[in-house]
Structures are given as structure tokens and as C-alpha cells.
Structure 1
Amino acid sequence: MFSDVQAVLFDLDGTLIDSAPDLGAAADKMRVDRGLPSLPAELYRPMAGAGARGMLQIAFGMSPQDTEFAAMREEFFVNYERCMTERTYAFEGVQALLQTLEQRGLPWGVVTNKSERFTLPLTRSMPLFAGAGAVVSGDTTPHAKPHPAPLLEAARRMGIDPQSCIYVGDDARDIEAGRAAGMRTVAAVYGYLGTQHDTTAWNADAEINSPAALLQLLPGA
């Protein structure tokens, strides 16, 4: 169990919400629009945490180094904007987790690499996020995770010492960012996990198999 925790910060996609169906659909529409066969949603899911980069990699084998990447990324963004609330929902247990944190007097916030273009409309559309003490996006600061700047900004906005925060995420870069910010870290192994499925190699301070399991690590358990 962690002691002296004063706030909990979460990654968004793959940690609090399951946005993989909408992200995959936005990329798959690009395939279908080009006369290519649709791909199963299961192929997109593991890379959903990587956003456009991950989705275009699955859909077209494309990387940011490709000359058409910027144009394809913007097309993906437009598709995603149109559908990003259609199939996205909070993971089971997340709402109860956040309510319990609030009942225990533990403020919580969100730090995501998703750009504000998507983060703000999405979180505002879900009542779940009304209680967030901070919502920091990938372009809120000059740096995105694994740089610690977004996490430090969230702690600053909440008025909490970073060393009194824990950060929960489902990607190795989340744990790297949390450590760099001086926070204790929790790997959400129920999430997307990216390409690094050996979560023990992330060296997080703890792992959880469900959102509810986090409560056992916090004061008041």
C-alpha cells in the first residue's frame, strides 16, 4: 500500500476509458474509403494508446517517417472527431473508483498524450470527468509523455507536491513519465499495453488488473 498519497493522476485511453473502438473505426474507415478490406477491431486495439501513429501503423503499415503521414494523420483526425463518442465508454469499475477517491478526499486528475482538440470535447461529453481536478493533454505543455512536464503541470494545477501523487497508466511511457516526475507509479495491465506486454520490465511500483484494485493500494483501504 502507498502511504502519504494526496492525489491520483490517470492516463486516459486504456486506463480510464476504452476508446479503442472509435479509434479503430476512424482508421478502418480510411481503409474502406480506399477500397481495402476492413480489419478486425482486435488488430487495432493493442495500439490504441498510440493514437494516430498506432492506428495508421495497423491500417496501412505507415510510420511518421512516411512522406504522406501528415496528410493521412489529419484525415484520421477528422474521422475520429466525427465518431469519438459513439463507442467510447469508461472501463467497468472506473466510475465507482473515482467516486470512492472523492469520498476519501483524494483529488484526481487526467494526464494524456491525446491533444486538446480531442481531450476536451471528449471529457466534457462524459459526466464521469466532472470531478477531475486537472485535465492535461499532450499539447498542454511543450512536451508529451514520457517527458514529465505534463504530469508536473497537473500536480501544479491541483496544488499537490508531485512526490505525493501516484500516476496510473497502461503504457511503458506512462511509468517512465511518472518516475521522471518523482511520482509513484501503477501499471494498469488491463489496458492496451502497446508493444511492450512484459509489464514487469516497466518497473512500476505496483500493477493492477482492474480499476477497482487501485483502491487496495491507497489510504483508507
Structure 2
Amino acid sequence: MLTLMKLRGHKMGIVSSKWRFHVISELQSKKLDMFFDVVVAQEDTSRHKPYPDPLLLAARKLQGNPADCVYIGDQPSDVQSARAAGMINIAALWGDGKFERIQTASPNIMVQNPVEVLNFVSQLKR
């Protein structure tokens, strides 16, 4: 999914509640760091998810309009943060994403796997 998103010209960022050192280390250890143009970590904002601040900062760094951004997360706070930022939100039901927990946040769409993310994003007008 990440390779295709990058090849299609999508700018991508990571917004995490973890400290930057941990985020960067994890991305590098999994050889995923090359896919992301921006990393917003815990130390970058004073308010964290579910507030919109970290997502809005990522959008600014990517030089994007929040309304044109899609945020993918696996927690209710991810959905709440994206909604507050005016972004489309996708609930990822793999990894830590659990249907029962995240459905209460009313995401725009819930997906079972990364292929569904590709399908959804490809349907959006750019």
C-alpha cells in the first residue's frame, strides 16, 4: 500500500503520540522511513489526539489543506482528531484496531486491510 501511494504521488506523514526518537527508530527498523515526508511526534504539539493540533501541524508541513487530507488510524482518538481537523478519517481494523471500540467514534469508513485504503483513496477526487 505504501509503495503504491508513494508512486501515485500522495504525500504521507505519520502523526504519533510517541516521542520522535521512538517513531523514527521504529520506522527505520522496519525500513518504512522512506515513505513518509513528515513525522509529527509527541513533542511537536502541546495538545495531543483527540485534539486536532498534531494533524493540523502535519497538514501544514505537507503544505496541504486539511479538507483534502485523509487520516488513517486504529483508535477512537484518531477518528476524533481527524474529524476535529476537518479531515476524512479511515478506521484501520488491523493491528490494534478493534471494530467494537472504534465504531463508537463514527469514522467515515472502516477498512479491514490496506488494499481497501487504496481503493477508497483512489475514488477520491484529487
| Distance apart, 1:152 and its partner CA | 0.6
| Distance apart, 1:205 and its partner CA | 0.4
CA contact (8 A) 1:175 1:187 kept: yes
Q: How many residues align?
A: 124
What residue number does 1:32 align with? none
Given the alignment of the two structures, is residue 156 of structure 1 paired with residue 60 of structure 2, yes or no? Answer: yes
What residue number does 1:129 align with? 33
Alpha-carbon distance in 1 for matches of 2:85, 2:73: 14
Alpha-carbon distance in 2 for matches of 1:126, 1:200: 29
What residue number does 2:117 align with? 214
CA contact (8 A) 2:24 2:33 kept: no
Given the alignment of the two structures, is residue 116 of structure 1 paired with residue 20 of structure 2, yes or no? Answer: yes
| Distance apart, 1:220 and its partner CA | 6.2
CA RMSD of aligned residues (A): 1.9
Structural mapping, 1:185-200, within 5 Å:
185-193=89-97, 197-200=100-103
Alpha-carbon distance in 2 for matches of 1:189, 1:219: 19
Structural mapping, 1:85-124, within 5 Å:
97-124=1-28
| Distance apart, 1:139 and its partner CA | 2.1
SS in structure 1 at match of 2:90: strand
What residue number does 2:108 align with? 205
Structure 1: gaps of 5 or more residues: 1-96
Alpha-carbon distance in 1 for matches of 2:2, 2:90: 16
Alpha-carbon distance in 1 for matches of 2:60, 2:29: 25
**Shift in alpha-carbon separation, 1:121–1:199, aligned structure 2, 3 A:** closer
Alpha-carbon distance in 2 for matches of 1:178, 1:160: 14
What residue number does 1:170 align with? 74
Deviations 1:132-188 (A, max 9, x none): 111111221111111111101111111011110010000000000000001010000
What residue number does 2:47 align with? 143
SS in structure 2 at match of 1:218: helix
| Distance apart, 1:131 and its partner CA | 2.3
CA contact (8 A) 1:138 1:145 kept: no
Indicate the structure (1 or 2) with the bigger Cα radius of gyration.
Answer: 1
Deviations 1:47-88 (A, max 9, x none): xxxxxxxxxxxxxxxxxxxxxxxxxxxxxxxxxxxxxxxxxx
Percent of paired sites with the same residue: 29
TM-score (norm 1): 0.52
Alpha-carbon distance in 2 for matches of 1:193, 1:219: 22
